[in-house]
Structure 1
Amino acid sequence: MILLPDPWWLTALLAVVILSDAALSVRPPAFIRDCLTGVGFPREWWWTLLVIKLLAAAGLIVGLWVPGIAFAANVGIVWYFVAAAYAHIRARFTGSEFWLNCLGMLALSTVVLLVSYL
């Protein structure tokens, strides 16, 4: 295993996607609101997801130069979306939001982890 991402641009792409997701989370559009409401995530805790996403993106960006940081951030992102998938399944909220948003992000973050670090 390597401690710096190779190719680096996949990690940078994931950082851009996570930053975009964080930007959307400031004023969540309908599909994000539906997702959070559908799994029963309390509205007063939605701000925590913004913090998590910003920290994850920062970890990915810093990790382009600091060994191990992007790897740890990428692993955290994968587990974040595993937890999100579990929440969707447990709440039986498995509509298009689950398949496109949740599993799509899980697939992207898993591919980046596998390709960049194995």
Structure 2
Amino acid sequence: MFVAYAIVGVLLAIMLLASAAAKLTKNKQIVEGLTGIGVPIGMFPFLAACEIAGAAGLVIGLWYGPLGVAAAIGVVLYFVGAVGAHLRKSDFKGLPNALVMLIAAAAVLVLRVLSL
């Protein structure tokens, strides 16, 4: 299970860093999508920081299992919020990305717990 966690966890960390970079550089598509569901631009740095912290926790969690579990829980909660925000505004165009990340985060959480 640990090898599976390592692979999926590192891939999720890369996706989180890419998402954070898009928020920090205010990528036009990201800005339109998030402001369209009511997220103020002022929240982008905070959201990006949460993603960067989650990515770091997942990678450090390769060596310290409890941190990997905590980071995975945090990432799951982050994307539960993202899915909820899209559903609240009936934004079915932006929903698939958040759902994929939520499913990946849930898989990472399960794999890390099973590999302890």
Match of 1:113 in 2: 109
- Give yes or no for the alignment of 1:28 onto 2:18: no
Aligned-residue Cα RMSD (Å) equals 1.6
Give the 4+ runs in structure 1 shifted more than 3 A.
Answer: none
Question: 2: CA distance between counterparts of 1:116 and 1:32?
Answer: 30
Residue 93 of structure 1 aligns with an amino acid whose one-letter code is D
Cα deviations across residues 77-116 of structure 1 (Å, max 9, x unaligned)? 0110001111111122222x212x1111111111222233
After TM superposition, the score normalised by the length of structure 1 is 0.84
Higher percent of residues as helix: 2
Report how many residues are paired: 112
Match of 1:90 in 2: 88
**Residues 31 and 41, structure 2, Cα contact 8 Å, conserved in 1:** no
- Runs (5+) with no aligned partner, structure 2: none
Question: 1: CA distance between counterparts of 2:113 and 2:26?
Answer: 32
After TM superposition, the score normalised by the length of structure 2 is 0.85
- Runs (5+) with no aligned partner, structure 1: none
Question: Percent sequence identity over matched residues?
Answer: 34
Question: 2: CA distance between counterparts of 1:38 and 1:93?
Answer: 8
